[in-house]
A and B are shown apart, each in its own frame.
Chain A
Amino acid sequence: MKLGSLKPVDDRKIIERVLKGDTDAFNLLLRRWEKPIYNFIVRMIGDRDEAMDLCQDAFMKAYRELDTLKDLDRFSSWLYRIAHNTCFSKLRKDHGKIFVELQPETRASRMPIESRLAVETALQHLPEDQREVVVLKVFQSLKFEEIAAIQDAPVSTVKSRLYMAFEKLRAILG
């Protein structure tokens, strides 16, 4: 059954349920955040299968460490921070490799292949910190302050990473 159609429930309420022992409620958080986290990781790593595994690892870690989350209303930033750590430890391990692997799409989504391929290739040519700012800002619509917390950097640094990234992307994408 696809649970994605579930009415959005307050993250805080779900987390409280999980912390009280209703572990199955964690799957509600999964349904809600799986797609954004997966897409964040795909764009960071450039490999869809690998991204799926890393996404699962990130959620596993989030589940194990849920009781360390101090502000329940900041769950999403905390989750992105975990996904960030997961991505960066993978990127450090694969230092030097560039994944831009894109299988042919189904007919329904054929139209955007070219642009998607171009964008993903372009993203992979950015330094990891800049790439992450672009992904979190443009695709995940996070606030600059949230990105600063995830990257553990000042907002001014985050913004200059974005400007530098955009300069490079403009050169690559034309």
Chain B
Amino acid sequence: MSHITEKLAEFIFEELPPPEMAEARRHVAECAYCREQLARFEQTLAMLKAAPDLEPPRDIVFEFDKPVMTRLWRWFPAVAALAAILLVTIALAGRVHIQWRDSQVTIAFGQNIPAVDPNQAALTAEIQRLQGHLAYLEDRQQRVESDTMATVSQIQLLARGQRTPPGD
């Protein structure tokens, strides 16, 4: 075998295929020239390796943006479960009354839910309707009043203008 000059680096870093490694080892054992080349290379390598790695001055940490809702929804099952447990516990203790009526859930704390009288419900709805109408009428009244005020002041200005003699 010729000198290992071409394969020196691969020999030192042990990247030669096993048969070639074995052959190179045999050659180096017999060749003073290659041993010297090797020694020079290894000396430089040792000097380089005397400079150890540095610790990074800080850890890099990435904070990844996620949609707010995604983050909140992650907690939803836990919160819902907790609320349900709390409600059941209190209901069992007799402090909460739950009623299902007309597609609506009513939850009352510490008191019974009074039964709803259908007549009373109709009456309440009528009162709400009339209150709405009243608010509308009040609004209209205010507008008419402010229009009237504006008209009066215009009339006053016109009258003053007529009274003033020309050239005064």
A interface with B by C-beta (< 8 Å): 2-3, 23-24, 26-27, 30-31, 34-36, 38-39, 42, 48-49, 52, 55-56, 59-60, 63, 109, 112, 115-116, 118-120, 134, 137-139, 143-144, 159, 162-163, 166, 169-170, 173
B interface, CB within 8 angstroms of A: 8-10, 13, 15, 40-41, 43-45, 47-62, 64, 66
- The reply to whether B56 and A38 contact each other, CB–CB distance below 8 Å, is yes
| A contact residues around B62 at 8 Å (CB) | 23, 26-27, 30, 59-60, 63
**A119-B48, A144-B10 known; A38-B61 Cβ under 8 A:** no
Contact of A55 among B40, B47, B60, B64 (CB under 8 A): B60
A-B residue pairs, 3 tightest by C-beta: A119-B51, A23-B64, A115-B50
CA distance A60 to B60 in the complex (A): 10
Bound Cα distance A116, B52 (Å): 7
Name the B residues within 8 Å of A139 (CB-CB): 48-49, 53
Chain B residues with Cβ under 8 A from A144's Cβ? 9-10, 13, 15
Chain B nearest Cβ from A142, distance in angstroms = 10
| A55 engages B15 (CB within 8 Å) | no
Report whether A119 and B64 are in contact in the complex, using a CB–CB cutoff of 8 Å. Answer: no
Is A35 touching B53 in the complex (CB atoms < 8 A)? yes
Chain A residues in 8 Å Cβ range of B47: 115, 118-119, 169, 173
Give the docked Cα–Cα distance between A27 and B60 (Å): 8
Is chain B's binding surface mostly helix, strand, loop or mixed?
loop
Nearest-neighbour CB distance to chain A for B60, whole angstroms, equals: 5
CA distance A95 to B163 in the complex (A): 91
A-B contact pairs, 8 of them (CB 8 A): A38-B56, A42-B54, A119-B47, A137-B13, A144-B15, A166-B45, A170-B43, A173-B47
Q: Which residues of B contact A138 (CB under 8 A)?
A: 45, 48-49
Q: How far is the CA of A48 from the CA of B41 in the complex (A)?
A: 28
Question: Are B53 and A34 in contact (CB-based, < 8 A)?
Answer: no
Q: Known contacts A55-B56, A138-B45; can you find 17 more A-B pairs with CB under 8 A?
A: A2-B59, A27-B61, A30-B60, A30-B62, A39-B54, A48-B57, A52-B56, A112-B51, A115-B50, A119-B48, A144-B9, A144-B10, A159-B10, A162-B9, A166-B41, A173-B44, A173-B47
Asked if B9 contacts A170 (CB within 8 A), the reply is no
Asked whether, in the complex, the Cβ of B64 is within 8 Å of the Cβ of A52, the reply is no
B9 to chain A, nearest CB (A): 5
Task: Say whether, besides A27-B61, A163-B9, A112 and B45 are in contact (CB < 8 Å).
Answer: no
